[in-house]
Structure 1
Amino acid sequence: MLTYRILLSLAFPFVLARLCWRVLRGRETVADLGERLGGGGGRPGAVWLHGASNGELTSARPLVLALMEALPDMQMVVTANTVTGRDLVRGWGLPRVEARLAPLDLRWALSRFRRAWAPSLLIVMENELWPNRIVTETAPVICVGARMSARSHRRWSRFPALAARLLGGFRRLWPQDAASGRHFAALGLPEDRLGAIGTLKSAVELADPDPGLLLRYGAVYRRTDTVLAASTHEGEEDIVLAAFLAVLRSRPGLRLILAPRHPKRGAELAQMLRQMELRFARRSVGEEPDETTAVYLADTLGEMPLWYSLAGVTFVGGSFVARGGHTPFEPAAAGSAIVHGPDVSNFEGPYAALDRTGGAMAVLDGGELTSALLRLSTAEAQEAQAARAREILDEIGSSGALIAEITDEVRRLLGER
């Protein structure tokens, strides 16, 4: 733990310089910087829920609503690592919920935050295992939807004392899958602190897309003829675009929405599209698609419900590279047929059930992706697969019992204080 604190302190000047540069470039404000340093005021006694960004916080919303209903006097502060995640929570408009950027994992920044909020409980979403935040918290700490891959387990195993101390700070941890539960237990989490296996991402409720944009873009991009490449990473777009070009020869009306996981890669992807001589428009600079726009580069955050609603087929990114794949629950909720690559370790159980029952198509490479897009070329094929996906995910991923268990635990822990 001491080594971690020393390394973090040495890195802080560089982190601060980067944050100040973001302010100077207009990407964040001085107030945003203040929040990252623990400032911004607060309401003492609030429950603190932390999630990395949009995906984690979208999945947390049903839990937040359940907690607010079960505990009508409870105040909550939700923190995120990104401005878009914070603004997503503010957009919920919940009266007893405030949103902030998360304080850096420095003891003095955490102390400033805690002086303002004096949290009564800390709820950590998924993989946000920041040592100082957890070890120095005096209120009870729980973790929801925790996930640990075999690779992460090997890395943590190199620091057994730090791992044991970190996991010893949790009063309860709900793993996403059985393998993650075993990994956490092997690293020192007491067995009696493991909760039921499950993920809140099965409870995802997609926000309604902007009706004006949906109407305008839907007039240009027919759903049956639109493919979404969702949350793609470097090394995937060239595969997706090559497959798209191959299908385009027999389906000239096909359109692609390319939504990279990291919108800051927009300029890089725009250059790739120019080199491939594909006609495209770029969302981040306000360009609008028309009937001649083959690819819409959706390099923004917070608009995934719109893209899912427009697409009859979704290729789920993070699955052609070693990222473990992103959620199948969101495209399924929007009724979009699912195609994915070989690496889906983040949602191994749900994808296995989908692939086995025809609720999704697994592809190994660009050639198989081309074939999958050709097979899903009709509204009937897309709707049948999407309906099967919703049925399967409803069967295996109901999170009502998990939310009820977490709510009971929160009520119990707050009652102890």
Structure 2
Amino acid sequence: MLLYRALLLLLSPLFALALLRQVLRGREKPRDLAERFTAGIPRHPQSCATRLWVHGASNGELTAARSLIEEALNRAPGLEILVTVNTVSARRMVRKWHLPRVQVRLAPMDLRPVLRHFLDLYDPAALISLENEIWPNRFTILKKRGIPVIVAGARMSERTARRWSHMQWLFGPTMRTTIGAITRLAAQDTASEQRLLQLGLPTDRLLPRMNLKTTVDLQAAPEAALAALRPHFPHATTLLAASTHEGEERVLLEAYGLLRQSQPDARLILAPRHPRRGDAVAQELTRAGLAFARRSLNDDPAAAPVYLADTLGEMALWYQLAGLCFVGGSLTPRGGHTPFEPAQFDCALLHGPHVSNHLAAYQALTDLSAAVEVTDAATLAQAAHRLMAEPDIARRMAQDAQTALAPLRAAQMRQEAFWNALADLPKLQALA
């Protein structure tokens, strides 16, 4: 831990400069920078109610955890929840939920003085940290204060585990101390559970496995928004590239160029995972020689064959317009994003080979031939052409995808078991 603290202290000026760069670019405000390095002033007077701290990295994790947060509020009418996030867009999203008894703010930096001040101010009864948000100083300070640390939907990829294994000689003690500070942990899948056990998590701290993303049911887009766009996006010949990352757009645009040779009326909705990359994706489109319209600029969607969906909070709209959906994060080694959301809206699914984040779900889809794996521009164009040319096959795939994922949606997320398993923690008995 001493080495981690020393390195963190030495690197803090670099972190501050990186965040200051965000301020100078207009992506954050000076008060956001201050909020990360200080506990900040609470938006509401502090009460004596029990307060649960829930932390998630960004929009995806918090969207997945919303049902967990709402269930906690329902189980304990006097409970207050403090949500912390790593991004201003996630903070904005949680505020728009307008949930009662919920505050949201940017998470404190993992610096001991900042954390101590934060804990003195908010005094949480417990922390629920989502997925792979594991912070050494945060966890160890909470343990010293007797505050339970629960990790929900913990995810440990093979790549991350291998990296930690290679760095055992340097950060081994830090990882063991951090893992040892975890009070309870519900892994996302069997593989993540085994990797965490190998890193030193005691078996008696395991909770039933849970995948928060299997519970996400996106709210359908407003009918007015759909009515305005439907005439421009024929369902059977519209391909959505959802939650794409750097390195994927170039392949997708090449595939779209090939697709238009056989399907000249095909439309492409390109929705990057991080809308702030809109300018970079626009440059890729220009280099590819493709005309495009941008949602963020309110461009006319009929003006070009490609629609750059570089806005937040509208994924349900894009899913509902498209008959085909390529799931991003899967052509590059990022583990792939959830197939549950596009399947909810009857999209025929395409994905790359890198799907370790939701391996069980993609295996279930493969078993029923309910998704098509592609590896490059040629295979993506070929698969999209076939599904557009034979819409009955696309509709069958969409139906089979719902069938394939239904057991996972029911089995992997058992909130009752999760909350009941925390009954032996005095500070959380009201939630059991």
User: What TM bracket, shorter-length normalisation?
Assistant: over 0.9
- 1:252 pairs, out of 260, 264, 271, with 264
Q: Which runs of 5+ in 1 are unaligned?
A: none
Query: What does 1:318-397 align with in structure 2 at a 5 Å threshold?
Result: 318-377=329-388, 378-397=390-409
- One-letter identity of the residue aligned with 2:357: N
Question: For the structure 1 residues 400 and 187, does the alpha-carbon distance in structure 2 shift closer, same or farther, using more than 3 Å as the test?
Answer: closer
Task: Report the AA paired with residue 26 of structure 2.
Answer: G
Q: Which runs of 5+ in 2 are unaligned?
A: none
1:317 and 2:328 are equivalent in the alignment: yes
After TM superposition, list the pairs within 5 Å mapping 1:186-265 onto structure 2. Answer: 186-265=198-277
How much has 1:340 moved relative to structure 2?
0.4
- Secondary structure, counterpart of 1:331 in structure 2: helix
Q: What is the rounded CA distance, in whole Å, between the counterparts of 1:399 and 1:102 in structure 2?
A: 31
Percent identical residues: 45
Match of 2:41 in 1: 40
Q: Which moved more, 1:346-355 or 1:102-111?
A: 102-111
Q: What is the CA–CA distance in structure 1 between the aligned matches of 2:421 and 2:178, rounded to whole Å?
A: 20
Quote the offset at 1:284 in angstroms: 2.7
| Cα pair 1:70 1:407 within 8 Å, conserved | no
- Correspondence for 1:129: 134
| Equivalent residue number for residue 160 of structure 1 | 172
Task: Give the AA of the match of 1:198.
Answer: M
| Alpha-carbon displacement from aligned partner over 1:153-203 (angstroms, at most 9, x marks no partner) | 122222322121111111111111111111100110001111222301110
The C-alpha deviation readout for 1:301-322, integer Å capped at 9, x for no partner, is: 3322222122111101111111
Local SS of the residue matching 2:108: coil
C-alpha contact 2:83 2:102 (8 A) present in aligned 1: yes
Say which is worse superposed, 164-173 or 402-411, in terms of deviation.
402-411
Q: Which moved more, 1:137-146 or 1:216-225?
A: 216-225
Are residue 89 (structure 1) and residue 89 (structure 2) matched?
no
The TM-score with structure 1 as length reference comes to 0.95
Moved more, 333-342 or 396-405: 396-405
CA distance in 2, matches of 1:372, 1:214: 26
Superposition map of 1:20-39 within 5 A = 20-37=20-37, 38-39=39-40
1: CA distance, partners of 2:80 / 2:215: 22
Shift of 1:376: 1.4
Q: 1:71 to 1:411 in 2, by over 3 A?
A: farther
CA distance in 2, matches of 1:217, 1:363: 28
The 8 Å contact of residues 331 and 354 in structure 2, kept in 1 or not, is answered as yes
Q: 2:66 aligns with which of 61, 64, 75?
A: 61
Number of residue pairs matched by the alignment:
416
Change (3 A) 1:375 1:145: same
Counterpart-to-counterpart distance in 2, 1:410 and 1:93: 27
Work out whether residues 54 and 84 of structure 2, in 8 Å CA contact, stay in contact via their aligned partners in 1: yes
Contact 2:221–2:317, Cα closer than 8 Å, also in 1:
yes
C-alpha contact (below 8 Å) 1:34/1:40 kept by paired residues: no
In the alignment, the residues of structure 2 paired with residue 324 and residue 265 of structure 1 have an alpha-carbon distance, to the nearest angstrom, of 20
Matched, 1:108 2:124: no
1:274 is aligned with what amino acid? T
Q: Deviations over 1:261-291 (max 9, x none)?
A: 233332222122122221101223332311x
SS in 2 for 1:376: helix
1:12 deviates by: 1.3
2:185 alignment partner, SS class:
strand
Cross-structure match for 2:4? 4
Deviations 1:58-78 (A, max 9, x none): 110111111111111111011
Alpha-carbon separation, structure 2, partners of 1:191 and 1:101: 32
